[in-house]
Amino acid sequence: MTGPVSACWRADDARSIFVTEALEGNDAIFLATHTPIEGFDVAGRDAGEFAGSDEQAVLDTLSDETRQHAFCVVQGEPGSGKSHLIRWLSVNWPHANDIKLLLRRVDGSLEGALGQLKDRLPEEFLPLFDNLGQRQRASSQGRANIFLSTLVNTLEPGHFDEPLPDEGWCRQYHPAELLGTPAIRANWKAPSRILNLLEGAGGDRNSATASFDLYDIDELAALAAPLNGSAAIAHSQALARKLVREAEDIRAFREQDWLPDELAQEYPDRFETSLRLIDALNRRRNDAIQNVLGVSAQGLKTLFRQVREALAERGGRLVLLLEDITSWEGLDDSLIDVLVFNAGAKGDQDKDVCPLISVVGVTPAYYEKLAANYKQRITHEIWLGHSTGGLQDVATLRDSEIRRQFATRYLAAVRAGPAALEAWLLANRSGEDAPPPNPCDACPRQDACFATFGAEHGVGLFPFTAHALDRFFEALKENDNGQTWKTPRGILQAILNPNLIRPDTLAAGTYPTATVEPDVFRQDRRSNFALSNRLEQFVANRIDSGPEQARMRRVLSYWADPERTDTTLVDGEFAFAGARRGLYEAFGLPWLGGDTVTSEATSATAPPPAENQPVLPELQDPEEETAPDTPVPGRPDAPRPVQPLARAPKPKRLTPNKSELEQLREQIRSWAAGGTIDNPSRWNQLLYALIDGIDARRLGAPAALVKRVITSEMVKLQGSTSGARDYLVIDAEPWVRNGLEAYLSLRADGRTSGDEADFHRRNLAAMMRGLQRSAAQYLDRRVPTVADGARWSPVTTFAQILLARAWLRGATTADAPIVEQIRAVLSDETGPESDVAGRSTPWQDWLNATNKAQDPLRTHLRTMVGLAISDGSGGAPLTDSSELAGAIVRFRETASFDPFPDSDGRLPEPFRRARELAQMWRDRRSQIERTEFGQLSNRAQALGDLLRNKSVAAHLERLDLCIIGISDLLPTAAADRVTNWRMTYTSLQARLEDGAGRRAENLILALEADEVPPKMPLKLSWLASAPARDLEELLFAAQLGEKVVEALLEHARDCVHEASGTGSLAQVRAAGNALQVAVGARTEGTVA
């Protein structure tokens, strides 16, 4: 095919064929397009009677002439083929004598269902309908008011002769009072919604059940909230409060697109009161509906019984085929009573009734709510699909070949047209046995068409291919607000009809148009999301026209492989992205492939280096997310929090079964298009892993600072947070999407060819450079600058803080070799090198301020200057001492810190503390030096004056002998002070033996000789080496001894004064001589 190909069907024929309701259209179209229904599951009391799992087995079993009773339920999702099977049974029912009533859904209303029943019964039964009642002659709003008023009345205790099970609850909470208030009567929309469904919802009911749900309670709670404290709900205040509180949680879940039924099933404990009210309303619904619509449940039962009695007299059998039981809601329980009644179960006084064979279509949702006693009386069950946790699938459509056969039957019918199909049916009913007409048999372009598009059992797939049909089917949503589109009806409505309804677009060269992608397609399969980044660039670079680009994207998304960009050979014909060249030509699209075959898809070679290839964090199952994202249902009797959920989880139906790669690609492409991103925590983890792999040196900051500033909590993709913190937000720029998609492709796609792998590596490298720029800009914003505008380097500040501490502790000195000072800065402290207790207050304040900070500062400094180089052989780690050594050299010259920020901004710890300590040193450095030097000088001078040119040891010994000698003669004199002296002098012995006296004397001599270094760094080291503690304790002892001697002198004087009137001068002289002998010459020099 070398140019655009025209269609081989007419638009009018397509419209006639695509009647989606099985009971519409005519028998010719129905039989020509019928695909046998098989592969379903069977159950029920008499399921063993089925000879197989196909439609013929169902027909043979139910139509058996000997059968007296059957209640068969056909269960399947809307559009799954329930109506089709039921109509097929009707068309092929073999016994003409049976009274067969096929009741269509029509508009989905109860009145429509009753009208069909009336029309299809023989005329003799028409008078029976007079007993069903008469519809209320009121407007829609009027009927809704009657409906709600009836519900209110039935909620009153004592309304029913036989109390309902929930009457006690109604008596306790008074729901009738709440629902009867004028505000709720006038504004609650739920009654109108229920009635609208019962009346068919304008023909769009689609098997929806007309029941109250949690969303109705949410609306009710909003109306009840303003009534709090009102006398109008004096008895129902508690009910209103509980509904309002539970509605907050309902809204949180509703924002995550939960359906009310699945919410009630998954979290019943969260909505206990709401569900009790829903149960009470739905329990009374049928009574209220019958009152509104003017029908009588007993009248319906009587009608069927009289019909069956009349047919029994004739020996007939009633076959009732109901497409959809939901059309009978309001009378459904009465109808089921009729259907389950076995003719053989009549009482002795009852008239005979005819056998009844009934087949009823129900949805799984309706079946789940069916009363257990009804389920037990089902004789045969047919499950057209089964569920794996979500909605049911359709057994017939599980196999792709069956799906192609389904499509080709409709393709052949559309090409043949209704007139040819009618002729075919007429001929078959006249005795011929011919297959439905297939125009492909006589088509002159069959060979070329089949070669390009393929065929199934002689029917061409044009304009589809087998691959395209699979891609279109997989694009259908599996759960669209409680409805699956992967059904026969979904194929008709969303695939065949949109593609075939405009045949003129093929010849015009505008096919496929945007209409081939309806809203019921998954977002990730739509052409604006499905193409790989490289393929998207192919389209943008090769095609200028926007509409033509869009057409090409659709073809590549469905007819080709949107993840490939290779040129290959398929049966001798070039193919691009897996689609033949002839297909592009048939659609009038340019050829994007090459003139030679590129390499076949192979696994990509090794990904980029580890720096650009962090470990991909495991994808978190949405159901495994932890609080506060996932609400934990509480016990019914547990206190409930007043606050609503911060965030509810996504429902299961919005987490379809896709591969991890599919999920991630869908999410990143959706995010890049401007929306929020799903599973944001997962993406933020990945983004952080990528940024964390960047060498911190490229960011111009130490790794320790980078890791403290750029944490996993602070890295966010745009749209993943609404917080006000200063996050590192990566915007939805093309380079980000391209890079992330490249990362995913290299990480998980084994089909990536060599050229594609190179393309992805380039995009990944570009993204890593962009992330590096973003991280550097974020650090500029978060890390304060110094006076000249440069970014602060914490290495210098950390090192200088630790060096200053080492100097003041005496661990090293300012004139020590650089290597020794580096060692003092980086090594753990083993103990105080000097006793700081004798230091001045500013000196001690600095050491105390740095005491708790020194360990984390040192740990981070080691990390900042460490080199991550290892050969695995062990040994000491390597250190980059370039910046560290410079900081030490500058500090040893001035004892001043390098520039640091004036404010800490938003620095994390310990960087914030380091800046504070640097500020403290700058403010108190001179005070530390001045105060310490003054204290040492004053103490040294005081001690020198007390020594009286004696050594410290000699002076203290003379004091001790003097004090002991006097105390021996005057034992009561200053006894406490003498004891204190003895303890002090004894405790000094070890220090004196260690040379404390000599050290103090040398300090005194050095100060007297002015040997103190003038430059502050050396002066601080000299002060740190001074024996401050020795000096303090020796001075204290010397001063204490002086005070004790003075106290003893006072006692001696008192003794002399007291003895002056009783003793002679000779006696006084004798006492003095005795003291002199006792003390001896050693007392010379004491205070006279």
| Domain ranges, ordered by start, for the chain | 1-37+389-515, 39-133+296-383, 140-292, 610-627+657-782, 794-868+877-926, 932-1083
Question: Could you give the dihedral angle defined by the CA atoms of residues 248, 182, 212 and 299, in that order, rounded to the nearest 10 degrees?
Answer: 170
8 Å CB contact between 363 and 75: yes
Give the whole-angstrom CA distance, residue 864 versus residue 867: 8
The mean-pLDDT minimum among 489-498, 592-601, 606-615, 655-664 falls in: 606-615
Q: Which CATH architecture has domain 39-133+296-383?
A: 3-Layer(aba) Sandwich (3.40)
Q: How many CB atoms lie within 10 A of CB 8?
A: 18
Identify the sign of the CA torsion 767, 768, 771, 777: negative
Q: In the prediction, which pLDDT does 748 show?
A: 66
Q: Please check the confidence at residue 455 and state whether its pLDDT lies above 80.
A: yes
pLDDT in tens, 800-809: 999 999 999 9
pLDDT in tens, 874-900: 445 676 788 899 999 999 999 999 999
Burial of 787-823, coded b for 16+ CB within 10 Å and e otherwise, reads eeeebbbbbbbbbbbbbbbbbbbbbbbbebeeeebbe
Q: In the prediction, which pLDDT does 298 show?
A: 80
pTM of the model: 0.68
Is 672 strand, coil or helix?
helix
pLDDT in tens, 558-601: 999 998 899 999 989 999 999 999 999 999 999 999 989 885 43
Nearest CA to 802 among 867, 851, 836? 851
Give the whole-angstrom CA distance, residue 308 versus residue 68: 12
Task: State which amino acid sits at residue 34.
Answer: H
Give the whole-angstrom CA distance, residue 104 versus residue 324: 7
Residue 29: both structure tokens together: 């179209």
8 Å CB contact between 343 and 357: no
User: Would you list the DSSP string of 589-634?
Assistant: ----S-SSPPPPP----PPSPGGG-PPPPPPPPGGGPPTTTS--PP
Rg (CA), the chain: 48
Question: Could you give the dihedral angle defined by the CA atoms of residues 444, 447, 449 and 450, in that order, rounded to the nearest 10 degrees?
Answer: 140
pLDDT in tens, 69-108: 999 999 998 888 998 999 999 999 999 889 898 887 665 5
pLDDT in tens, 389-434: 567 888 889 999 999 999 999 999 999 999 999 999 999 989 888 9
- Report residue 793: phi and psi, to 5°: -105, 110
What burial class does residue 41 get, using C-beta atoms within 10 Å of its C-beta: 0-12 exposed, 13-18 middle, 19+ buried? middle
Give the whole-angstrom CA distance, residue 800 versus residue 791: 17
Q: Please check the confidence at residue 872 and state whether its pLDDT lies above 60.
A: no
8 Å CB contact between 47 and 380: yes
How far is residue 942 CA from its own chain's centroid?
74
SS (H, E, C) 1007-1057: HHCCCCCCCHHHHHHHHHHCCHHHHHHHHHHHHHHHHHHHHHHHHHHHHHH
SS (H, E, C) 908-930: CCCHHHHHHHHHHHHHHHHHHHH
Q: How many CB atoms lie within 10 A of CB 196?
A: 18
pLDDT band at 300 (very low <50, low <70, confident <90, very high): confident
Q: Please check the confidence at residue 170 and state whether its pLDDT lies above 90.
A: yes
Q: Please check the confidence at residue 679 and state whether its pLDDT lies above 60.
A: yes
Q: Please check the confidence at residue 834 and state whether its pLDDT lies above 90.
A: no
Is 659 strand, coil or helix?
coil
Identify the sign of the CA torsion 46, 50, 55, 59: negative
DSSP state of 189: -
Nearest CA to 943 among 899, 996, 883, 868? 996
Q: Please check the confidence at residue 642 and state whether its pLDDT lies above 60.
A: no
8 Å CB contact between 170 and 280: yes
Is 486 strand, coil or helix?
coil
- List Cα–Cα distances, 882 to 322, 476, 976, in angstroms: 88, 63, 62
Q: Please check the confidence at residue 646 and state whether its pLDDT lies above 70.
A: no
Nearest CA to 705 among 917, 919, 908? 908
pLDDT in tens, 193-251: 888 877 765 555 455 677 899 999 999 999 999 998 899 999 999 999 999 999 999 99
The mean-pLDDT minimum among 259-263, 298-302, 745-749, 1079-1083 falls in: 1079-1083
In the chain, how many H helices and how many E strands?
47, 15
pLDDT, average across residues 594-613: 53
Identify the sign of the CA torsion 532, 536, 542, 543: positive
Task: State which amino acid sits at residue 133.
Answer: G
pLDDT in tens, 703-730: 888 888 899 889 998 877 766 688 988 8
Residue 176: both structure tokens together: 């009738």
- List Cα–Cα distances, 1058 to 258, 261, 529, 576, 1062, in angstroms: 107, 111, 116, 129, 8
pLDDT in tens, 1031-1058: 999 999 999 999 998 988 888 787 777 7
Of residues 645 and 619, more confidently modeled: 645
Q: How far apart are the first and last CA of the chain?
A: 134
Nearest CA to 585 among 407, 461, 449? 449
Task: State which amino acid sits at residue 413.
Answer: A
Q: Please check the confidence at residue 169 and state whether its pLDDT lies above 50.
A: yes
H/E element, 102: strand 99-103
Give the whole-angstrom CA distance, residue 957 versus residue 970: 20
Give the whole-angstrom CA distance, residue 380 versus residue 391: 22
Give the whole-angstrom CA distance, residue 708 versus residue 859: 13
Q: In the prediction, which pLDDT does 616 show?
A: 43
Burial of 741-763, coded b for 16+ CB within 10 Å and e otherwise, reads bbbbbbbbbeebbeebbebbbeb
Q: Where are the beta strands (DSSP E) in 236-366?
A: 318-322, 356-362
Peptide bond into 122 cis (omega under 30): no
- List Cα–Cα distances, 684 to 267, 514, 526, 680, in angstroms: 29, 34, 25, 6
Q: Which of 370-374, 399-403, 481-485, 600-604 has the highest mean pLDDT?
A: 399-403
Q: In the prediction, which pLDDT does 750 show?
A: 56
Q: Which residues pair with 730 in a beta bridge?
A: 717
Q: In the prediction, which pLDDT does 940 show?
A: 93
Q: In the prediction, which pLDDT does 612 show?
A: 43
- Report residue 831: phi and psi, to 5°: 160, 165
- Mean pLDDT (the chain) is 85
